């Protein structure tokens, strides 16, 4: 009989999302009479925490964000000979690093917006003026973070001037992050595609169009009911829909994800180009998350997602 150790929490900006994901996992394990324990992970002493458990347990990684999905916890679990769900060390590192993943995606002929990587300490007015001159409109975000943390969109002079006034406050907010991604802003339709390993075969589930009541699909839109609208299937042409499915599957493969991923895109309907934004190797599994919604669209139960993740563990 399998016995599971659910890793939850993580004490980062996505701590609460992780707890919600973990609660959903617990419901499925209880229903299937699978024994489980849960551990609220503290990144500062995780190695000591995990040493108290038998490595015969399969770790269900319900963490999101830094430490949980950036290769760090995976490295400790491998060192201690634990089996664990989701992607391995190298894939987790690459997916969590937006610059690294965009370089790989670009080399594999999937369009992605132009970008530069900037040391967080080098974010200053002079650099921002240079970037504005080059791209007119752009997005600033931490290079290694999730759940839309720290994203600022500069669409016009008003946005730019407002950001300049608050630059020190922003630098304080992102003080835990070493590098930033400054990316050309693309106007278009926000799309997302989940990829699952279904009975040994990787499949893109569907394309969801996201319409947010806020300026973009931010943390509140993602995790608060009523702040975003998910249109599934997306209202785009069949040709673009199929291309989006293809891009997500290819992204999953070239980034070497395991069992599950969700890739985000922006479709510029004027130029008719789908642009890759990022891949999440540990997408949320909360009641309003996109992966369970897309699975249901394909008649795949949430229960199957959870049980298949456990079966597709890393050693």
Return the HEC string of 244-273. Answer: HHHHHHHHHHHCCCCCEEEEEEEEECCCCE
Superfamily of segment(s) 115-184: ATP-grasp fold, A domain (3.30.1490.20)
Strand partners, 265: 191, 276
Q: CA 162, CA 185: separation in Å to the nearest integer? A: 17
Strand partners, 229: 211
Give me the residue spans of the domains in the chain. Answer: 3-86, 95-111+187-311, 115-184
Residue 170's nearest CA partner among 188, 196, 149 is 149
pTM above 0.75, yes or no: yes
pLDDT over threshold 90, residue 288: no
How would CATH label the architecture of 95-111+187-311?
2-Layer Sandwich (3.30)
pLDDT over threshold 60, residue 241: yes
pLDDT at site 13: 82
pLDDT over threshold 60, residue 223: no
pLDDT tens across 27-55, in order? 999 999 999 999 999 999 999 999 999 99
pLDDT tens across 65-88, in order? 899 999 999 999 999 999 999 999
Mean pLDDT for the stretch of residues 126-135: 93
CATH number of 3-86: 3.40.50.20
Asked if the domains at 3-86 and 95-111+187-311 fall in one CATH topology, the answer is no
Which residue's entry shows tokens 């790989």? Answer: 104
pLDDT tens across 247-275, in order? 999 999 999 999 999 999 999 999 999 99
Confidence at 216, pLDDT banded by 50, 70, 90: very low
pLDDT at site 302: 95
Mean pLDDT for the stretch of residues 215-235: 66
pLDDT at site 215: 54
pLDDT tens across 196-205, in order? 999 899 999 9
Put the strands of the sheet holding 3-9 in their side by side order.
35-41, 3-9, 58-61, 83-84
pLDDT tens across 108-118, in order? 999 999 999 99
Determine phi and psi for 250, rounding to 5 degrees: -65, -40
Confidence at 218, pLDDT banded by 50, 70, 90: very low
pLDDT over threshold 80, residue 221: no
Confidence at 3, pLDDT banded by 50, 70, 90: very high
pLDDT over threshold 70, residue 213: no
Confidence at 226, pLDDT banded by 50, 70, 90: low
Please give the mean pLDDT across all residues of the chain: 93
Task: Write out the DSSP string of the chain.
Answer: --EEEEEEE-SSTTHHHHHHHHHHHHHHHHHTT-EEEEEEE-TTTHHHHHTTS-TTSEEEE---STTTSSSHHHHHHHHTT-EESS--HHHHHHHH-HHHHHHHHHHTT-----EEEEEGGG--HHHHHHHHHHHSSEEEEESS--TTTT-EEE-SHHHHHHHHHTHHHHHHHTTT-SEEEEEE---SEEEEEEEEEETTEEEEEEEEEEEESSSSS-HHHHHSTTSEEEESS-SS-HHHHHHHHHHHHHHHHHTT--SEEEEEEEEETTTTEEEEEEEESS---STT-HHHHHHHHTT--HHHHHHHHHHT-B-
Going from the C-alpha of 152 to that of each of 137, 139, 183, 226, the distances in angstroms are: 11, 6, 11, 22
Higher-confidence position of 23 and 14? 23
pLDDT tens across 134-188, in order? 999 999 999 998 657 889 999 999 999 999 999 999 999 998 889 999 999 999 9
């Amino acid at each position: 009989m399998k016995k599971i150790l659910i890793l939850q929490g993580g004490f980062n900006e996505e701590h609460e999302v992780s707890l919600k994901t973990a609660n959903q996992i617990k419901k499925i394990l209880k229903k299937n009479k699978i024994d489980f324990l849960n551990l609220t992970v503290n990144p500062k002493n995780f190695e000591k925490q995990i040493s108290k458990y038998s490595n015969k347990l399969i770790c269900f990684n319900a963490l999101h964000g830094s430490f949980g999905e950036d290769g760090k916890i995976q490295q400790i679990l491998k060192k201690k000979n634990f089996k664990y769900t989701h992607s391995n060390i190298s894939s987790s590192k690459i997916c969590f690093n937006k610059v690294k993943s965009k370089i790989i995606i670009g080399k594999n002929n999937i369009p992605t917006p132009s970008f530069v990587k900037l040391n967080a300490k080098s974010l200053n007015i002079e650099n921002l003026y240079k970037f504005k001159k080059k791209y007119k409109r752009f997005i600033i975000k931490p290079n290694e973070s999730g759940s839309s943390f720290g994203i600022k969109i500069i669409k016009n002079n008003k946005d730019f001037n407002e950001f300049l006034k608050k630059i020190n406050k922003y630098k304080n907010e992102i003080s835990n992050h070493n590098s930033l991604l400054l990316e050309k802003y693309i106007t278009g339709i926000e799309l997302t595609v989940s990829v699952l390993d279904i009975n040994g075969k990787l499949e893109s589930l569907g394309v969801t169009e996201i319409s947010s009541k806020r300026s973009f699909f931010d943390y509140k839109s993602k995790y608060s009911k009523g702040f975003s609208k998910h249109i599934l299937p997306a209202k785009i042409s069949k040709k673009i829909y199929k291309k989006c499915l293809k891009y997500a599957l290819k992204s999953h493969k070239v980034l070497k994800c395991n069992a599950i991923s969700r890739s985000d895109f922006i479709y510029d309907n004027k130029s008719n180009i789908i642009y890759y934004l990022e891949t999440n190797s540990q997408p949320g599994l909360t009641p309003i998350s996109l992966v369970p919604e897309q699975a249901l669209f394909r008649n795949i139960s949430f229960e199957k997602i959870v049980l298949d993740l456990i079966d597709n563990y890393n050693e």
